[in-house]
Amino acid sequence: MTKRLAIIRSAFHYLDFKKYNCQEVGLGSSLCEKGWNVDLYIYGKKENKEIVYHTQECTLTVYRISAVQLLRQQAYYPRLLKVLSRKQYDLIQVQDESNFTSVQVVKWAYAKEIPVVLYQGMYQPYSGIKGILQKIFNIWALPRYRKYLTYSLAKTISASKYLQHLHILPVELLRVGLDVRRFQTPAIQYYDKDLLLFSKEFESIMLYIGILEQRRNPDFTIRLFHRLCKDNNIGLVLIGDGPEKERIDRLINFLGLTDRVYYCKSVPNESIPQYFQEADFFVLPSDYEILGMVVLESLYFMVPVIATNTAGTSDILQDLTHGMILSTLDVEEWSLACKKYMRNRHNRNVELRDYVIQTYNWDQAAELYISYYEKYCS
């Protein structure tokens, strides 16, 4: 019998599916293939709906609904519960425990006798003022989760331990998948000839893709690159935008690296393969990453990753063929690590791609998702 799932992605953040690898779309598409209808509710500047994937029998429909921003990414969706009431759902999935809307939906679903699953990515508490607000929020939220939630899923081992510490039980591990279908029909209209000309000038290319924000330490990336330039013919491909962009531009100019850096503000999903194909290694010196989908993308394109120890990287990077995890932001230590993976473009290791396909694919995740549903909701 066909099941119907509602996924609530409740953060106050507009998603452009052409530029963002949405995990819920990957999971929802695979569940459609297995006989589930999936409705994804996300923030929208204008309310509308769109079928983004379908089989002969099932659909994945995205509903964009209006919301009021509360604090940073926290949001209140005035019409959400009314919209959910229009359909008969077999299961509802909510996002992360430190979320007002998640608590609201869990309590509503319990009253309607609809099972609810929490899919958790966050793996450590906030610090500073946000940490104080979180503790206050948890006084109200945690008893409700423990009473009303059916079960929880965790994206990483770290997230699983975090939920267990909060006594939000039971918890099962459900690894995120990588939706590779979007890479299989490259967008020729976005083919970057200038990138090819740039990469030919250097023996090695270092790659960074991500938001230029403080927690990802983009200034360290530039200083690391500056160190590598001293004794290597190397270029940097830098893709991203964010609050640190102007400061990074000034640092690049100050260090005299302008001619060695190829910058793109953003790249369409379909064009990402070209940038990985020109790279020898990828760096991610982030303080905090729930998963780091770009790490999976990098390995899929057989590009090793040098990264800090976050929840996603500690799960994903299992041996030196995948890359290296470094515990501190030390330029010399990172420089030595990067040199191990230079001149990698013409010596790809297909085992990296096989590892991602076998371990992080949505088809397997969907099978496991259904088995957890049958275990806790039958």
Do 166 and 202 belong together in one domain?
A: no
Do 170 and 275 belong together in one domain?
A: no
Do 135 and 208 belong together in one domain?
A: no
Q: Is this prediction's pTM over 0.85? A: yes
**Predicted local confidence at residue 190, as pLDDT:** 63
Do 101 and 200 belong together in one domain?
A: no
Domain hosting 231: range is 187-359
**Predicted local confidence at residue 162, as pLDDT:** 95
Per-residue H/E/C for the chain: CCEEEEEECCCCCCCCCCCCCCHHHHHHHHHHHCCEEEEEEEECCCCEEEEEEECCCCEEEEEEECCEECCCCCEECCCHHHHHCCCCCCEEEEECCCCHHHHHHHHHHHHCCCCEEEEECCCCCCCHHHHHHHHHHHHHHHHHHHHHCCEEEECCHHHHHHHHHCCCCCEEECCCCCCCHHHCCCCHHHCCHHHHHHHCCCCEEEEEECCCCHHHCHHHHHHHHHHHHCCCCEEEEEECCCCCHHHHHHHHHHCCCHHHEEEECCCCHHHHHHHHHCCCEEEECCCCCCCCHHHHHHHHCCCCEEEECCHHHHHHCCCCCCEEEECCCCHHHHHHHHHCCCCCCCCCCHHHHHHHHHHCCHHHHHHHHHHHHHHHHC
Do 251 and 214 belong together in one domain?
A: yes
Do 88 and 199 belong together in one domain?
A: no
Do 83 and 151 belong together in one domain?
A: yes
CATH of the domain at 59: 3.40.50.2000
Tens digits of pLDDT across the chain (378 residues):
789 999 999 887 777 766 667 889 999 999 999 999 999 999 888 888 888 888 999 999 999 998 888 877 788 889 999 999 999 999 999 998 988 899 999 999 999 999 999 999 999 888 888 888 889 889 999 999 999 999 999 999 999 999 999 999 999 999 999 988 777 665 555 678 899 999 999 999 999 999 999 999 999 999 999 999 999 999 999 999 999 999 999 999 999 999 999 999 988 777 889 999 999 999 999 999 888 889 999 999 999 999 999 988 999 998 888 899 999 999 999 999 999 999 888 888 899 999 999 999 999 999 999 999 999 998
Do 215 and 327 belong together in one domain?
A: yes
Q: Is residue 182 part of a domain?
A: no
Do 14 and 115 belong together in one domain?
A: yes
**Predicted local confidence at residue 18, as pLDDT:** 66
How many domains does the chain contain in total?
2
Do 238 and 282 belong together in one domain?
A: yes
Do 135 and 237 belong together in one domain?
A: no
